[in-house]
Amino acid sequence: MATTLHDVARVAGVSFKTVSNVINNHPHVRPTTRAKVEVAIRELGYRPNLTARSLRSGHTGAVTLALPQLSLPYFAELADAVIEAAAKHGLVVLIEQTGADRDRELEVMSSPRLKMSDGLIFSPLELGQADVDLIRADVPIVLLGERIFDSNSDHVAIQNIEASRSATEHLLDLGRTRIAVVGAHQGEVIGSAGLRLRGYREALQARGIPYDDGIVAYVRDWHRSNGAAAMHDLLDRGATFDAVFGLNDTLAQGAMRVLQEAGYRIPDDAAVIGFDDLDETRYSLPTLSTVDPGRNEIAETAVKVLLDRIKNPEGPPRAMKAAFRVVPRESTVGAGRP
């Protein structure tokens, strides 16, 4: 059996409540008593039983992070950031994968396991605005992403439209006017693809450049392979362009590879920009210009907002937007290493 408060109390010759006071840094403990207790704690190698503490105190010191899948680089980096942000507040993170499955996304919110944590940071991929009434759980929720805006939950969003407008402007500022898009979703409005395409169109419009569907490539998934296939498509149908906007980094990487194989020099013949600022964009050849959607800020804000909500369950839901930043690298501005 593990040592308990009582064991420590017996060894230290005090009541077990005094030990509790020492552990919780209560102010009114005489220094000599505290020292005595601390010796006993060390001697016995006492570790508090967090489960018991949770039951009594009503909070666990853990938060749940629900996301589609860790093997998607974007979510792996998001999880990394959330774990680090949570650690700063002394919280551990429990990860649930939903596999981008609607039922699993719903299940996450109603699972009793959720109560092993104090709150949920939830990045849905299937649930959308129409499901807003289903978004509720036994613990406070913070939503991530842009699929659900008007709800009673707190929400930390990526500025998809604004950021993708900026990415497009970056290309326009470099004098590029025929900007192909890789990764659009047919008919999508909400969701990353729809919103990013909208930002692109807004940027063109602001400069009086007509939108040309002939240089927009549609895909289903956002893998490298889709980016590559989409670029093959564009080349096959003889599309002419002087820049490419990959709606995320993996698409852009796939497209860039195909361009290089086809003899395009990047950025000379075609500038390429992605979206997400994945770690791998710093290591490709050429390094990939991209948009930092504020992943660290999203993670930190989500944790902070969740903690606020736990502390104060009432009060109106908050909607936050992360600051984004265009990150110019070799694939648009050239130069750099051999």
Residues binding its own copies (CB under 8 A): 2, 47-52, 54-55, 60-62, 69-71, 73, 76-77, 79-80, 83-84, 87, 92-97, 112-113, 115-116, 138, 223-225, 228, 232, 250, 254, 257-258, 260-261, 279-280, 282-285, 338
How far apart are CB 48 and DNA at their closest, in Å? 4
In terms of Cα–Cα distance, which of 87, 193, 105, 161 is closest to 321? 161
**For DNA, the closer CB: 20 or 260:** 20
**For DNA, the closer CB: 26 or 220:** 26
In terms of Cα–Cα distance, which of 194, 190, 243 is closest to 215? 243
In terms of Cα–Cα distance, which of 79, 182, 65, 181 is closest to 124? 65
Q: How far is CA 191 from CA 44, 164, 220, 318, 323, in A?
A: 55, 13, 13, 20, 18
Output the six-digit token pair for 226.
């889709």
How far apart are CB 328 and DNA at their closest, in Å? 51
Question: Is 185 in contact with 193 (CB distance < 8 Å)?
Answer: yes
How far apart are CB 258 and its own copies at their closest, in Å? 7
Give the DSSP H/E element, type plus range, for residue 44.
helix 31-44
How far apart are CB 44 and DNA at their closest, in Å? 11
CA angle 295, 87, 50 (to 5 degrees): 140
Q: Give residues in contact with DNA (CB under 7 A).
A: 1-2, 4-6, 14-18, 20-21, 23-24, 26, 28-30, 32-34, 48-49, 52-53, 55-57
**What's the full length of the chain, in residues?**
338
How far apart are CB 124 and DNA at their closest, in Å? 28
Question: Is 103 in contact with 127 (CB distance < 8 Å)?
Answer: no
How far apart are CB 109 and its own copies at their closest, in Å? 11
CA dihedral 3, 88, 98, 247 (to 10 degrees): -160
97 binds, among its own copies, DNA, none (CB under 5 to 8 A by kind): its own copies
84 binds, among its own copies, DNA, none (CB under 5 to 8 A by kind): its own copies
Question: Is 244 in contact with 273 (CB distance < 8 Å)?
Answer: yes
**For DNA, the closer CB: 52 or 285:** 52
